[in-house]
Structure 1
Amino acid sequence: MSSRVLRKLQGEQDISNVLGVEGNSDGEADVTSSSVRKKPLNVNRYDLLNQQSLSESEVKEDDDHETETKDAKDSLGEDRASSRRKKKKKKKKSVKSLSCRRSSEDIEVDEVERSVREVNKMLGETPSSQNYLGNEVNAAMQKKLTGILSIEHRNLNPNIEMKRIFGSKVVQSEQNKKRGRGRGTLKSTWLVTPRENWPQIGKPGLSMSLVEMKEGVLYFKYEHNLHYQQIQMKFLEAVESLNPDNIVSIINMHPYHVDALLQLSDLSRMSEDLQMAAELVARALYCLECAFNPLFNLARGDCRLDYRRQENRALFLALFKHMTYVGQRACYRTSLEFCKLLLSLDPEGDPLAAVLIVDFYSLQCHEYEWFIRLYEEWEAQGRNLMQLPNFAFSVAVANFYLASQEAESMANRSVEKSPKWDLVVADEMLQNALIMFPGVLLPLLEKCSIQPESHVLSFPFFGVKAQISQTPALLQLIQLYVARNYHIWKEPALLPWLEKNVNRVIERVNSGDPYVKDCEMKRMKRYLGTPKNIFRHIILSDIKDVSANISGDIQGPVLSFDPLPPVDSINLYVRPQRPRAHENSNTFSMFFRSILPNFNINELARDNAQAGDAVEGAEGGANPDGSLTSRVDLHRSVTSLLDAMRDLLSNTFPDVPHDGDVDDDDTEEENNPQNRP
């Protein structure tokens, strides 16, 4: 601290004591005695914090100057000393800007040096060249691992996309209509927005812990405490009982039990109540996100979950279902972001085969460049994405759109330069896709309600020969692509392009192109079996034109809350096995069993036949119209169950409303139960 600051703080009388310097001249003593007689300054010491601190160079200049003035004071009187103070003040004003600049520069240098010292303290002292090389390698590795699957927070909210499509006023007015009573404060999350009728989450018993960090990637796992494990066992017993009332009672007691919410969501979807199904999935996803570890960063895309762990599968399933419901609202950009998140959890294994749907959302939201970048990066890693029909056709479509847009833009601006996207490349990719998967063309045209030309319809390569040369596993992939992506091919710009390349493929086949024979051999050797992740994808997608046709080597039931567990599954829970007597007499149980994807009415008939032909004959004689009565009872039971669930979800409110936010109209709505949302 400079002497000038100390003089202002404590007065000139104490400056010699602070610095340890005794006055030797009479002039200095006169100045000191003069300052003693003056009224002491009333200075607030905290005001010094608001002043600009002097740099080291400025402090040195001040000290040198004061030393010189001390020698001059020996021959000068009190009047000369006062004038010298005035000159000193003028000098201070003239160099104020310079000292501020020097101080800021010194502060910046100090901050940088401090940061470097902290990093070196953590990582150790290394040569600058090694630091530079290490940073380059780490940056390249990080970009390779997480760059393509990084998440943008704003794209996870479907309401933002709805506002872009329909306008903010329309969406806001719709939200105001759905707004009910005041609710308590719920935790703000990235993935879903909590509804107003949701209860407080409290402590459901879920948590997430870090397992390990390997090559810059963090591996996590979900954990269930003892209380949640007890609820989970009750849920498994309820599923085994085939009585959905037991599951409803679990949600009534524990409104954030994840597997029970997912199971009831499937029941609502099969009864065509999609709004309730989507809300149940959103609530399950909200509970899962509230249990995230602080290190679990969604945006970076470098966090992994092991699907083999039984507790981790709920997040995969909830994300897939939520992505599907958001996509059904035409919020394709939001669905693409959830698909990227789902892929980032396990990009190598891809347990739910999200790679079969990422192309659809990418094309629908016009993310052509990102999709091509994904294809190029993963193809370079040996993923063989062109062996999937959806990638073979969708990459060609993305190239076509980019080439067309670039050509139109260059024509409007009258710019002549080499294009980045070439239409010839798109043509070649589409032709190769048609040659590799000839069974796609006719079902695709039929789905688009387009009558093909006679020479195309009669061409064997696209007809009977195509059906013979594809295995059942390949047929499932083709059916899945056609049923999901046929809307894309209804665009007017794509049909002439498709027709042109179909004619070109006919010419290549007639000319004996060796690529045609090569693709035929690949179709016969590959696609011999359907992996489990594709089976899971088909089951969860629930597309009526695509049948799972699960092979006989896959044993066990297919449960919607855990479809087809891995062979090397790490299980915390074991499903209870209990004998179920008189299954054939419980219509409600028959319905609940029928919602399972592997339900077979013929197998059920064989099981019931073991009860004895005499019992069946007695039932048939007593009620010749028993089948009709059973269907009526089934419909009544399902209707009553769904009504109970709607009442449970719509009347779940916090106990303490926000009185300040309630007006007269809201009070009337609260008093009238029929007006409640």
Structure 2
Amino acid sequence: MALAAELCERALFSFGRVAPSSFKQSLEQGMARMDFRRPENRQFWLAGYHYIKSLIRKGTYRTALEWAKLFYSLDRSDPYAMRHLIHFLAIRAHESKWLLDFLHHLETEGGRDDTAYILQSRILAMLQIGDEQQARQHLIEGMQRVPWLYCALFQGLNVDTPPSVWGIHCETEATEFWVKLYLYQSKDLWNNPQATRLLLDVAKSIDRVDAKSLPKDEHPIDLGVARMAYIDGQTSLLALVPRSMLEQQPNYEFDPLPPAEKDNIFTGEGCRLPWREQRQNPARLGGIIAQMEELLARRGPPPQEDEDVLMEQLRNGAFFGANGEAEGGDDVAEVPVSSEDRGMVAALIQLLGFGGAREAGADAREGEASRDNDDVQAADDDGSGTTDLPGSWPAEEGRRGE
């Protein structure tokens, strides 16, 4: 962990060294902007996110909060869901007054489907500054707005759930995701006598919440939050993220879950390579499958020469429809054949019993026959004449002859 944190610091230092002076001045004034849609900018976000996580592990919450503020300000689309780090880091760093202003900004700005969950940290901020009356009022509003969150919070704190929110659970996987995300980050902040006592007092003082009368909580999971859960590797959260997000391609360690190709801003052809390779892979795989099907169709009693030629074409990467000519005779773009492709084809050929596997089997049979012949020859050269008596010892046979 220490080495990883040091490497992140070096990466951020390198980014800072190459940044122009105008960007640094804008950064000091809070006016710097970086477009996440440009692929060359995304490594900066990735290094910064890992650095923030390392600061959290060290317990340096104030520094982590300042870095989270920086990345939130660079792109207001919040591609790494920094808002879900800011609200609990501000409580940890005792920046409650600033957090209240930030949450007010989120609430008035609108456009965020998950703001209702982040706003519940406002109660903790008010308790931290000593305004318990306002904290109680906002807690009542929160229990009536997202009762399933507080039902899960009571369970997470191992406290008996009061009747007002008892048995109110999430109806959709998206709602369950937001609840688990909030508890994953903020549950420990509620685990103190003052907050727990307020939770119980308010929950016992209100009537049972009618969850059916509440508006449907159908806030979809956006790509930024999915990216954050993917990098953290939290399996309980990843299980609730739509598979279409996690399985999208391209997806690399240096650029996890990038935006769709149409949403990117490319400054050069080199930035398009991941998407170009992804478009070529289906054609390459289709060509492999087509030739393997042709090979299987010939598996009856084909001429050995034709089969050898076909397998040689497979090994060389002459994939039908990818390299060479298409069915209509038109030339198609040349697709480079990697060593990974060749290895995959060789494994398929051996798995199906062609080529190397068959030759290896023949060599093995020849080797066994050769060993059998050697054993027979050795027995004949012994001269004892007892090779027809299995289990006899040569010494015993010698004594019998005497």
- Label 1:307 to 1:333 Cα distance change in 2 as closer, same or farther (>3 A): same
SS of 2:237 mapped into structure 1: coil
Q: Which residue does 1:538 correspond to in 2?
A: 229
With 427-436 and 309-318 compared, the bigger mean Cα shift is at 427-436
Q: Which residue does 2:123 correspond to in 1?
A: 396
Matched residue type, 2:46: L
- Label 1:545 to 1:552 Cα distance change in 2 as closer, same or farther (>3 A): closer
Whose RCO is larger (CA < 8 A, sep 6+)?
1
Q: Which residue does 2:309 correspond to in 1?
A: none
Residues 392, 429 of structure 1: 8 Å contact kept: no
- Label 1:553 to 1:612 Cα distance change in 2 as closer, same or farther (>3 A): farther
Q: Which residue does 1:490 correspond to in 2?
A: 191
Q: Deviations over 1:75-110 (max 9, x none)?
A: xxxxxxxxxxxxxxxxxxxxxxxxxxxxxxxxxxxx
Residues 538, 548 of structure 1: 8 Å contact kept: no
Q: Which residue does 1:381 correspond to in 2?
A: 109
**Aligned ranges 1:328-367 → 2 under 5 Å:** 328-347=57-76, 349-367=77-95
Q: What is the distance in 2 between the residues matched to 1:374 and 1:446? A: 29
Residue identity (%): 25
Q: Which residue does 2:100 correspond to in 1?
A: 372
- Label 1:553 to 1:451 Cα distance change in 2 as closer, same or farther (>3 A): closer
> Residue 521 of structure 1 is aligned with which of 212, 215, 225?
215
TM-score (norm 1): 0.38
Q: Which residue does 1:156 correspond to in 2?
A: none
- Label 1:301 to 1:542 Cα distance change in 2 as closer, same or farther (>3 A): farther
Note if 1:293 corresponds to 2:13.
Answer: no
Q: What is the distance in 2 between the residues matched to 1:542 and 1:435? A: 32
In the TM superposition, what is the alpha-carbon distance from 1:357 to its structure 2 partner?
1.2
TM-score (norm 2): 0.63
Residues 308, 569 of structure 1: 8 Å contact kept: yes
> Residue 40 of structure 2 is aligned with which of 296, 301, 311?
311
Q: What is the distance in 1 between the residues matched to 2:37 and 2:10? A: 24
Residues 333, 361 of structure 1: 8 Å contact kept: yes
- Label 1:609 to 1:305 Cα distance change in 2 as closer, same or farther (>3 A): same
Q: Deviations over 1:483-528 (max 9, x none)?
A: 11111111221110111112134x153xx6xxx555x2231xx31x
> Residue 462 of structure 1 is aligned with which of 149, 160, 166?
166
Q: What is the distance in 1 between the residues matched to 2:227 and 2:239? A: 9
> Residue 431 of structure 1 is aligned with which of 125, 133, 140?
140
Q: What is the distance in 2 between the residues matched to 1:496 and 1:288? A: 47
In the TM superposition, what is the alpha-carbon distance from 1:398 to its structure 2 partner?
0.9
Residues 72, 82 of structure 2: 8 Å contact kept: yes
Q: Which residue does 1:480 correspond to in 2?
A: 181
Q: Which residue does 1:574 correspond to in 2?
A: 273
SS of 2:21 mapped into structure 1: coil
> Residue 255 of structure 2 is aligned with which of 562, 573, 579?
562
Residues 173, 240 of structure 2: 8 Å contact kept: no
Q: Which residue does 2:389 correspond to in 1?
A: none
Q: Which residue does 2:55 correspond to in 1?
A: 326
Residues 153, 187 of structure 2: 8 Å contact kept: yes
Residues 368, 399 of structure 1: 8 Å contact kept: yes
Matched residue type, 2:166: F
Matched residue type, 1:466: H
SS of 2:33 mapped into structure 1: strand
Q: Deviations over 1:149-202 (max 9, x none)?
A: xxxxxxxxxxxxxxxxxxxxxxxxxxxxxxxxxxxxxxxxxxxxxxxxxxxxxx
**Aligned ranges 1:433-448 → 2 under 5 Å:** 433-448=142-157
Residues 304, 346 of structure 1: 8 Å contact kept: yes
SS of 2:50 mapped into structure 1: helix
Q: What is the distance in 1 between the residues matched to 2:347 and 2:175? A: 37
Residues 535, 548 of structure 1: 8 Å contact kept: no
- Label 1:549 to 1:493 Cα distance change in 2 as closer, same or farther (>3 A): closer
Matched residue type, 1:352: Y
Q: Which residue does 1:111 correspond to in 2?
A: none
Q: What is the distance in 1 between the residues matched to 2:349 and 2:264? A: 35
Q: Deviations over 1:302-343 (max 9, x none)?
A: 110010001011111111111111011010001000000011
Long gaps (5+) in structure 2:
289-344, 358-402
Q: Which residue does 1:275 correspond to in 2?
A: 2
Residues 124, 190 of structure 2: 8 Å contact kept: no
Matched residue type, 1:500: D
In the TM superposition, what is the alpha-carbon distance from 1:434 to its structure 2 partner?
2.3
In the TM superposition, what is the alpha-carbon distance from 1:383 to its structure 2 partner?
4.7
Q: What is the distance in 1 between the residues matched to 2:166 and 2:349? A: 51
Q: Which residue does 1:662 correspond to in 2?
A: none
Number of aligned residue pairs: give it: 281
In the TM superposition, what is the alpha-carbon distance from 1:570 to its structure 2 partner?
2.1
- Label 1:426 to 1:611 Cα distance change in 2 as closer, same or farther (>3 A): farther
- Label 1:344 to 1:335 Cα distance change in 2 as closer, same or farther (>3 A): same
- Label 1:341 to 1:614 Cα distance change in 2 as closer, same or farther (>3 A): same
Q: What is the distance in 2 between the residues matched to 1:428 and 1:319? A: 37
Q: What is the distance in 1 between the residues matched to 2:134 and 2:346? A: 60
Residues 379, 385 of structure 1: 8 Å contact kept: no
Residues 46, 254 of structure 2: 8 Å contact kept: yes
Residues 61, 93 of structure 2: 8 Å contact kept: yes
- Label 1:396 to 1:386 Cα distance change in 2 as closer, same or farther (>3 A): farther
- Label 1:365 to 1:295 Cα distance change in 2 as closer, same or farther (>3 A): same
Residues 78, 224 of structure 2: 8 Å contact kept: yes
- Label 1:278 to 1:362 Cα distance change in 2 as closer, same or farther (>3 A): same
Residues 55, 61 of structure 2: 8 Å contact kept: yes
- Label 1:462 to 1:563 Cα distance change in 2 as closer, same or farther (>3 A): farther
Residues 165, 203 of structure 2: 8 Å contact kept: no
Matched residue type, 1:429: H
Residues 399, 425 of structure 1: 8 Å contact kept: yes
Residues 353, 533 of structure 1: 8 Å contact kept: yes
- Label 1:381 to 1:442 Cα distance change in 2 as closer, same or farther (>3 A): closer
